[in-house]
A and B are shown apart, each in its own frame.
Chain A
Amino acid sequence: MADLGRICLLLALLVCVYGIGASVYGARSGRVEFSDSGRRAVYALAIILTVAFAVLEIAFLRDDFAFNTVADTSSRTTPAFYRAAAVWSSQEGSLLLWAWLLSLWSSLALFLVRRRMREVAAYATAVLLGFGAFFIALMIFYATPFATTSPTPAEGVGLDPLLRFPTMMIHPPMLYSGYTLCTIPFAFAMGALLARRVDADWIRATRRFAFAAWLFLGVGILLGARWSYAELGWGGYWGWDAVENASLMPWLTGTAFLHSLMIQEKRGMLKVWNVSLVLATGTLAIMGTFLVRSGILNSIHAFGGATLGVPFVTLIAVLIAGSIYLVVSRREMLRSEHRIDSLLSRESIFLANNVVLVGLCFVIFWGTYFPLISEALTGHEASVGPPWFDRYTVPLALLLVLLSGIGPVIAWRRATLANARRNLVAPTLVALIALVSLLGAGLSGKPFAIAMFCCAAFVLGSIGQEFFRGARARRAMSGEPAPVALLALVRRNRRRYGGYIVHVGIAVLFVGVAASSSFQHASEVGLSPGKSTHVGAYKVTYVRPTATVTPRNDVAHTGSTLSLGALLDVSKRGHHVATLRPSQGYYDSGEPSQGSVGHLIGGQAVSHISMSGGVTRDVWTAIAPNISTPALQRIVTVGNRTLPPDEAEVAIGFLARAYLKDPPPAQFHLIVSPLVMWIWIGGAIVFGGGLIAIWPAPSAVRRRVAMRSRARAAHGLARA
């Protein structure tokens, strides 16, 4: 079956090359049948890669260890769920996933525009197939998923235990969907520049694709943060790690683009800016993909050797050079039709928002690539840490939130100053009330957090006012009861009110971030059973140790034979709040040199954290038990000496019993973080609002609206 996979890759490459040729020829000659054939080449690519992916997936599910990838990342003892996900835990498998998702999304996008924008779409097809060809060539020549060894190994190495969490299933496909979706607006921008047609049609098509990319990428980033927080033994959700930053940067430029696109739509200006933003988003997405798998930066994500570095750098250089060339050579066509009428207009605020977002992206870019920059400029590799990132991103984030509160009260095109001033009174009042309440409640010493809370209050006040006034205006016209009016208002003005909801979500998310980072209580402490410690307002007592032994032939076995932990009681002011059960799982190292018993627990040790989540705070704990005490080590040594490998599990039982009987003090990491839940809630609001904003109105409504506007416009002509 590996042969089928290899054939698929070769066929895919041929199809890509054909499709590029057919599309370009079709675009230049105007011969529709060739552009159509080129588009269908993308469909064909999707079919081929689906087959290839199925071949690999089936190999994983069937434990076909002849495949190198399967042998390296899966094993018979890996549960089926994780075997299916292990496909993309390796370099080769993730490349295949990337190419497959690219072909699927490209097929969908091209199908949706198949009757319009023919010339632009044809060039876009060529660009997308170019990306496809690149990744497929990587797989054929550098890192093939279908390499086999014979004789077939009997057992595989197994999935890294650190990845055996459910979110692992969803995070990479989501993130890769985001990355691949970023290439579609990129391709259409290139197509529009090549066809010299950067216009309203392009805006309409690109907006949808850019939004899809924004949505998937954003959800992927948020899931990654959630995974990091809720599953890993670290207790944080964002560390300014290179790979985290790499996914955030295209999201920031994508957000900027969604805003500035509206300015181009209304005023025919900022064309160069918009096109550049889109091209930058696509390039940053490729750079993000490259960072994860090159290890060129000292990130904790070392994912693949340096062999892929050269091809990727070449691709990125081509993308940047091509983008710059196209924009410069088409600059006549990209000249603005109008200018911004007035500084006091929503267009201006959007422009300011763009500047802040791009500024944020620049800061993060500089900090992320600093090791390379400093090496190039000074010869020494140096890096900047989270404090540097925080110092610059926090004020920019404050500004961003503030702008999202000011925008709603400013009209498009040219606002009336008196009205704007009057409209800002209520939100400012809300912010001041928040400030006074916070200071009154004794919260001080964290100026940035307080500032963020006040800005968020300002935003909520501003947007609340908008909803209220909009509903009131609608009721005045239609006489509907308030709730109905509100719903109708949102349904008929989805972009505006959906956008408002997105900003509410952002404000809530930042409140969560500010509260959980500034007002966190954390402690690292060693406890013996019976002892307790205080974290923030909570008292945590180590009640008793826990131990779980899972024999290897047990169906629930995930690779860890022994798991040691603790039962913790959390109370506040004498009242019981929660019972937590953190544990540490010890995995098989697969190295016989550690002894028959030693290797069973000598591999990876994975923290299973325990958390009590709540609306106002999360109480989070992780445990690092001590299994190196002389007593426990003696059991291991004796077991190594006397027990053959297939009976070694008996010793594990002894270990567990010994640990329970006489537990040594264990290290606990305890964190109380306020308002963390609101980060995830805020994120959900953001994406819900986004969906509302982009959802097309039912065609009947649109027709009515279009005809009514046409009649009014004609009436205007009669009047004039």
Chain B
Amino acid sequence: MNPARKRTVRLVVALSAAVALASALIYTSFSVASPALSPSQLVRQAQPGRSYQLTGTVVDGSVHRQGSELDFSVEDRVGGTAIPVAYTGTVPDPFREGREVIVTVQKHPGRFVGERDSLITKCPSKYKSAPAGEKQNY
């Protein structure tokens, strides 16, 4: 094979490998991803065994700690459906009633179980204009 042909072959091989890897990447991302749902959506769509990203506000008065498990309810930002969540793992500093949270949950019979260490609390927006904060913890 002359050098030009060798170069073309190499280029084709390299590109094919890249395309193959990219496809694997893209495919797995769709199958592994957790859809982001609000409580009202979750109630309707949740299937057991799948992970979902639950986004909403922590209901006032719903936070109880039992040993290493933290129980709280999450409701829609606009109020309405509230979902009880049983969570174990790191609880971020800003977490408290009335704050917006994101937690990965799975549906179990009778309740939703939060995935370990998946609780994220959004920056509080009680400061008047933009919520302050460059970095928050998980």
Q: Interface of A with B (CB < 8 Å)?
A: 68-69, 71-73, 89-92, 143, 157, 159-160, 162-163, 168, 171-172, 224, 227-228, 232-236, 239, 243, 292-293, 298, 300-305, 339, 355, 359, 362-363, 366-367, 370-371, 374, 378, 380-385, 387-388, 391-392, 524-526, 604-607, 624, 626, 667, 669
Contacts and interface: CB of A to CB of B under 8 A. Distances in A.
Given A298-B102, A304-B130, A383 B93 contact: no
Given A90-B129, A371-B36, A234 B134 contact: no
A34 B25 CA distance: 51
Contacts of A71: 128
Contacts of B32: 384, 387-388
A526 B66 CA distance: 10
Given A160-B127, A383-B33, A227 B135 contact: yes
Nearest to B115: A385
B134 A171 contact: yes
Contacts of A292: 134
Contact of A162 (B14, B68, B94, B125): B94
Given A302-B123, A383-B33, A524-B88, A236 B133 contact: no
22 contacts: A68-B129, A72-B127, A73-B127, A90-B130, A90-B132, A160-B127, A172-B134, A293-B130, A300-B123, A301-B136, A302-B122, A302-B131, A371-B36, A382-B35, A383-B34, A383-B53, A387-B32, A392-B25, A524-B88, A604-B93, A604-B94, A607-B93
Given A72-B127, A300-B136, A667-B68, 17 more contacts: A73-B127, A89-B133, A91-B130, A160-B133, A172-B134, A224-B135, A234-B138, A293-B130, A302-B123, A359-B18, A371-B36, A381-B35, A382-B33, A383-B36, A624-B91, A626-B65, A667-B65
Interface in B108-138: 118, 120-125, 127-138
A89 B130 CA distance: 9
A301 B134 contact: yes
A600 to B, nearest CB: 16
Interface residues of B, number: 49
Minimum-distance CB pairs A-B, first 9: A234-B137, A382-B33, A232-B137, A91-B130, A160-B132, A382-B35, A300-B136, A304-B130, A381-B36
B14 to A, nearest CB: 8
Nearest to B33: A382
Contacts of A359: 18, 21
Determine which residue in A228, A362, A374, A382 has the highest number of CB atoms from chain B within 10 A of its CB, and name it.
A382
Contact of A669 (B14, B22, B90, B118): B90
A143 B130 CA distance: 10
Contact of A388 (B28, B36, B129): B28
Contact of A163 (B88, B104, B132): B132
A606 B67 CA distance: 21
Contacts of B132: 72-73, 89-90, 159-160, 163
A303 B133 contact: yes
B5 to A, nearest CB: 13
A305 B130 contact: yes
Contacts of B122: 300, 302
A358 B125 CA distance: 37
A303 B53 contact: no
B130 A236 contact: no
Interface in B70-95: 88-94
Contacts of B91: 624
Given A90-B130, A359-B21, A524-B68, A385 B34 contact: yes
A525 B68 contact: yes
Contacts of A355: 14, 18
Contacts of A606: 93
Nearest to A293: B130
A163 B137 contact: no
Contacts of A160: 123-124, 127, 132-133
B138 A303 contact: no
Contacts of A626: 65
A266 to B, nearest CB: 18
Determine which residue in B30, B91, B129 has the highest number of CB atoms from chain A within 10 A of its CB, and name it.
B129
B106 interface: no
Contact of B93 (A73, A301, A380, A605): A605
Nearest to A90: B130
A362 B22 contact: yes
B128 A157 contact: yes
Given A302-B122, A363-B25, A366-B25, A162 B93 contact: yes
A234 B92 contact: yes
Determine which residue in B36, B135, B138 has the highest number of CB atoms from chain A within 10 A of its CB, and name it.
B135
A366 B121 contact: no
Determine which residue in A89, A92, A143 has the highest number of CB atoms from chain B within 10 A of its CB, and name it.
A89
B125 A302 contact: yes
Given A303-B130, A370-B33, A228 B94 contact: no
Contacts of A383: 33-34, 36, 53
B92 A382 contact: no
Nearest to B134: A172
A298 B90 contact: no
Contacts of A163: 132-134
B57 interface: no
Contacts of B28: 388, 391
Contacts of A380: 35
B26 interface: yes
Nearest to B17: A355
B2 interface: no
B8 interface: no
Contacts of A367: 29
A72 B129 contact: yes
